[in-house]
Amino acid sequence: MKKELKAIVEVFVAFLALLWLEKPLRIYFSDTIGMEMVQARLLAGALVRCSILAIAIYGIGYYNLLAFNGLQKGSKAKNLHALLIPGAFVAMGLMSNREHFLEASAVTLILYTGSVFTVGFLEEFVFRGTILPMFIRIFKKQDKVLYISAICTGLLFGSVHFINLFSQPDNFRGVTSQVFFAISIGVFFGGLLLRTGHIFIPALLHGCVNFAFGTGELVGRHSETIVAEATSGTNWNSLIPTALFFAFILLGGLFMIGKVAKESIIAKLEEEPFDKTFGNLRGLREGNMNDSGRQTYSLLKQLNRDSDRALTDALIGQVNALGFHSNTTDVYYFYFPIVSHILYYKPGYAPELLHYLVGPNFANGAASADEVMAEIEGSMHYKIAENPFYLSEESKKWVTQVLPGMRAAVEREVEQCRRALEED
């Protein structure tokens, strides 16, 4: 939980900090290059947001959120009928603001299109693509995890819009309306991502809403966010229509969330490299291996250099309880990822674990420590070429960095195998 909360804070602060780069860049374009103020603002905004978007895309990969966002190879969007009502809303906006599009110059219209769509993509990739799944990981044990996470993300998204007070210090009421609108539409976009399973859907819709309702940019009225323009033309002196409008959007998002199975979302977030390597331990069915497999998986996930002896001893006990039986090659390949991962963090447990690697290789003809170590390294390359996630990063480092220093321990295991063979 601490890791995810730290990530949320880092992403949120970085997002706000980098947005401020737009102002000096806008001044440079207008004062130094001599661009029109509207075009300078649009170009500066688009460039800064594209830069932040590139960082956000990297972050989605770094935090293992590709599956959640539908960005893995072969992923497809679903339930696209959820776009019917918002699509009609966008169409109405385009019709009502068509004069602004017709009056704008071609250059301004191109810059405007790039600017508003980068807003949509950036905000979706940061808030729904990165922060929303972090909240889901934090609250995954809660029954209403998806509702809680979408609302928390919406609140954070809405709070960002208070920065508009810097440019509109005398418009607290209007900015507050923008904030509440942003909260509502933030929950809606969160529901849309969860329902469709692809980040491009809310990102494209967000960009379309910006394009349809953000036309104040085309006539020189500065708007930091989509919400300020989305509310233009509405009678905000009437509280009831405003509240109903916000509630309709919010309820639409909550309705979509209610149609999503939380287990499928959580499963996507658990599909991390660790799970791709060790996830099979949770599905062992033979004999007592089911319980031992799940326990081994759980303890492996907790293991690190600071793990105490009690946890490590419990893990070793569960590994021994697995009792995997097959031919020597299959036994070796079954235990190789587990043993190497443990020994990376706890090399002192070599006497308890190395026999899982040395014994099968000795049985297959490796008669010395050097031959066994060469077989281990060779099998690593062979299996990784077959499946990049066969070994964890820790296991790979153990083979290349730690195993060479364990030659004496490997030799002792080889000698034990030789004695056992002679006794038989």
Q: Determine the Cα–Cα distance for residues 189 and 175; give it in Å rounded to an integer.
A: 20
Q: Determine the Cα–Cα distance for residues 321 and 335; give it in Å rounded to an integer.
A: 12
Q: Determine the Cα–Cα distance for residues 43 and 35; give it in Å rounded to an integer.
A: 10
Give the H/E segment covering residue 248: helix 239-258
Which residues, other chains included, contact 240 with Cβ-Cβ below 8 Å and sequence gap of 6+? Answer: none
pLDDT category of residue 271 using cuts at 50, 70 and 90: low
Where would I find the H helices in 346-406? 350-353, 355-363, 369-386, 393-397
Q: What angle do CA 147, 149, 153 make, to 5 degrees?
A: 120
pTM across the whole model: 0.64
pLDDT category of residue 1 using cuts at 50, 70 and 90: low
pLDDT category of residue 225 using cuts at 50, 70 and 90: very low
* Sign of the CA dihedral with 114 first, then 200, 202, and 150 last: negative
Arithmetic mean of pLDDT, 70-94? 92
Q: Mind listing the pLDDT tens digit for each residue in 382-396? A: 999 999 999 999 999
What confidence score (pLDDT) does residue 285 get? Answer: 58
**What are φ and ψ of residue 332, in 5° steps?**
-60, -50
Arithmetic mean of pLDDT, 210-232? 60
What is the percentage of the chain residues whose pLDDT exceeds 90?
Answer: 64
Q: Mind listing the pLDDT tens digit for each residue in 316-375? A: 999 999 888 888 999 999 999 999 999 999 999 999 999 999 999 999 999 999 999 999
Arithmetic mean of pLDDT, 267-285? 78
Judged by DSSP in three states, 139 sits in coil
Least confidently predicted of 401-405, 413-417, 418-422: 418-422
Question: Distance from first CA to last CA of the chain, Å, rounded?
Answer: 53
Domain boundaries, the chain: 2-261, 273-423
C-alpha torsion 334→335→336→339, nearest 10: 160
Alpha carbon 132 to chain centroid, angstroms: 9
Tokens 């083979």 locate to: 399
What confidence score (pLDDT) does residue 227 get? Answer: 43
pLDDT category of residue 84 using cuts at 50, 70 and 90: very high
319 vs 271, residue with greater confidence? 319
**What are φ and ψ of residue 234, in 5° steps?**
-95, 145
Q: Give whole-number Cα distances, 272 to 56, 134, 292, 385, in Å.
A: 18, 13, 21, 19
The DSSP letter of residue 170 is T
Q: Mind listing the pLDDT tens digit for each residue in 108-128? A: 899 999 999 999 999 999 999
Q: Determine the Cα–Cα distance for residues 175 and 161; give it in Å rounded to an integer.
A: 7
Residue 105 has pLDDT above 90, yes or no: no
Q: Determine the Cα–Cα distance for residues 367 and 353; give it in Å rounded to an integer.
A: 19
What confidence score (pLDDT) does residue 27 get? Answer: 92
Tokens 């060790």 locate to: 278
pLDDT category of residue 104 using cuts at 50, 70 and 90: confident
pLDDT category of residue 286 using cuts at 50, 70 and 90: low
Measured N-to-C along each axis, helices 369-386 and 407-423 cross at an angle, to the nearest 10 degrees, of 110
Give the H/E segment covering residue 234: none
Query: What is the pLDDT of the chain when averaged over all its residues?
Result: 88
Q: Determine the Cα–Cα distance for residues 345 and 323; give it in Å rounded to an integer.
A: 23
Residue 252 has pLDDT above 90, yes or no: yes
pLDDT category of residue 274 using cuts at 50, 70 and 90: confident
400, 384 in Cβ contact below 8 A?
Answer: no
What confidence score (pLDDT) does residue 13 get? Answer: 93
Arithmetic mean of pLDDT, 8-24? 92
Q: Determine the Cα–Cα distance for residues 290 and 281; give it in Å rounded to an integer.
A: 8
Q: Mind listing the pLDDT tens digit for each residue in 48-76? A: 999 999 999 989 988 889 989 999 888 89
